[in-house]
Structure 1
Amino acid sequence: MRSLVTGGAGFIGSHLTEHLLGLGHEVVVLDDLSTGSVHNLAAVAAEPRFRLVRGSVCDEDAVRDAMAGVHDVYHLAAAVGVFTIMARTLDSLRTNLHGTEVVLDVALEHQVPVLLTSTSEVYGKNTTAGLREDDDRIVGSPLTDRWSYAEAKALDETLAHLYHRELGLPTVIVRLFNTVGPRQTGRYGMVIPRFVDQALAGLPLTVFGTGRQARCFCHVLDVVPALVALVADPGAYGQAYNLGNAEQVTIERLAHKVIAATGSTSGIVTVPYEQAYGPGYEDMQRRVPDCTRAHDRAGFHPTRSLDEIIAAVVAERRTPRPVGIATTVAG
Structure 2
Amino acid sequence: MKILITGGAGFIGSHLAEQCLERGDEVYIIDDLSTGGMDNIRHLKRHPKFVYYLDSINNVQLTAELVDTCDIIYHLAAAVGVRLIVESPVNTIETNVRGTEIVLGLAAKKRKRVLIASTSEVYGKRDHVPFREDDDLVLGPTVIGRWSYACSKAIDEFLALAYWKEKRVPTVIARLFNTVGPRQTGRYGMVVPNFVRQALSGQDITVFGDGHQSRCFTHVSDVVQLLIGLAEHPDAVGQVYNIGSNQEVSIQELAYRVKALAESPSKVINIPYEQAYEEGFEDMMRRVPDISKIRGLLGHAPKTSLDEILYSVIAYERERMTPGFAVSAAAHAL
TM-score (norm 2): 0.95
User: Helix, strand or coil for the counterpart of 2:207?
Assistant: strand
Equivalents in 2 of 1:164, 1:130: separation in Å?
27
Q: Give the equivalent residue in structure 1 for 2:69.
A: 69
1:183-194 superposed matches below 5 A: 183-194=183-194
Equivalents in 2 of 1:83, 1:90: separation in Å?
13
Q: CA deviation at 1:66?
A: 2.5
Q: Give the equivalent residue in structure 2 for 1:322.
A: 326
Kindly provide the CA deviation profile for residues 100-157 of structure 1, in whole angstroms up to 9, marking residues without a partner as x. 0001011111211000000000000112221110011111012210100000000000
Q: Give the equivalent residue in structure 2 for 1:87.
A: 87
2:210 corresponds to 1:201: no
Cα distance change of structure 1 residues 300 and 62 upon mapping to structure 2, 3 Å threshold: farther
- In structure 2, the gaps of 5 or more residues are none
Q: Give the equivalent residue in structure 2 for 1:6.
A: 6
Quick check: 134-143 or 247-256, which moved more? 134-143
Q: Give the equivalent residue in structure 2 for 1:245.
A: 245
Equivalents in 2 of 1:39, 1:293: separation in Å?
35
- Which residue identity does 1:231 align to in structure 2? A
TM-score (norm 1): 0.96
1:15-54 superposed matches below 5 A: 15-54=15-54
Q: CA deviation at 1:298?
A: 1.7
Instruction: Name the structure, 1 or 2, with higher relative contact order (CA <8 Å, separation 6+).
Output: 1
Tell me if the contact between 1:4 and 1:27 (Cα under 8 Å) persists in the aligned partners.
Answer: yes
Kindly provide the CA deviation profile for residues 40-96 of structure 1, in whole angstroms up to 9, marking residues without a partner as x. 112322101000101112221231132231000000000000010011110111000
- Which residue identity does 1:322 align to in structure 2? A
Tell me if the contact between 1:128 and 1:287 (Cα under 8 Å) persists in the aligned partners.
Answer: no
Q: CA deviation at 1:261?
A: 1.1
Tell me if the contact between 2:67 and 2:112 (Cα under 8 Å) persists in the aligned partners.
Answer: no
Q: Give the equivalent residue in structure 1 for 2:145.
A: 145
Tell me if the contact between 1:111 and 1:170 (Cα under 8 Å) persists in the aligned partners.
Answer: yes
User: Helix, strand or coil for the counterpart of 2:130?
Assistant: strand
Equivalents in 1 of 2:291, 2:162: separation in Å?
23
Tell me if the contact between 1:128 and 1:288 (Cα under 8 Å) persists in the aligned partners.
Answer: no
Tell me if the contact between 2:172 and 2:231 (Cα under 8 Å) persists in the aligned partners.
Answer: yes
Equivalents in 1 of 2:284, 2:46: separation in Å?
44
2:182 corresponds to 1:182: yes
Q: Give the equivalent residue in structure 2 for 1:328.
A: none
Equivalents in 1 of 2:34, 2:299: separation in Å?
34
Equivalents in 2 of 1:206, 1:27: separation in Å?
39
Q: Give the equivalent residue in structure 2 for 1:265.
A: 265
1:104-123 superposed matches below 5 A: 104-123=104-123
Equivalents in 1 of 2:58, 2:277: separation in Å?
27
- Which residue identity does 1:141 align to in structure 2? P
Equivalents in 1 of 2:8, 2:231: separation in Å?
16
1:204-283 superposed matches below 5 A: 204-283=204-283
User: Helix, strand or coil for the counterpart of 1:116?
Assistant: strand
Q: Give the equivalent residue in structure 1 for 2:127.
A: 127
- Which residue identity does 1:240 align to in structure 2? V
Tell me if the contact between 2:83 and 2:188 (Cα under 8 Å) persists in the aligned partners.
Answer: yes
- Which residue identity does 1:116 align to in structure 2? I
Equivalents in 2 of 1:10, 1:66: separation in Å?
18
User: Helix, strand or coil for the counterpart of 2:36?
Assistant: coil
Q: CA deviation at 1:288?
A: 0.3
Q: Give the equivalent residue in structure 2 for 1:308.
A: 308
Tell me if the contact between 1:81 and 1:188 (Cα under 8 Å) persists in the aligned partners.
Answer: yes
Equivalents in 1 of 2:284, 2:111: separation in Å?
39
Tell me if the contact between 1:173 and 1:240 (Cα under 8 Å) persists in the aligned partners.
Answer: yes
What is the number of equivalent residue pairs in this alignment? 325
| % same residue | 49
- Which residue identity does 1:306 align to in structure 2? L
Equivalents in 2 of 1:123, 1:176: separation in Å?
11
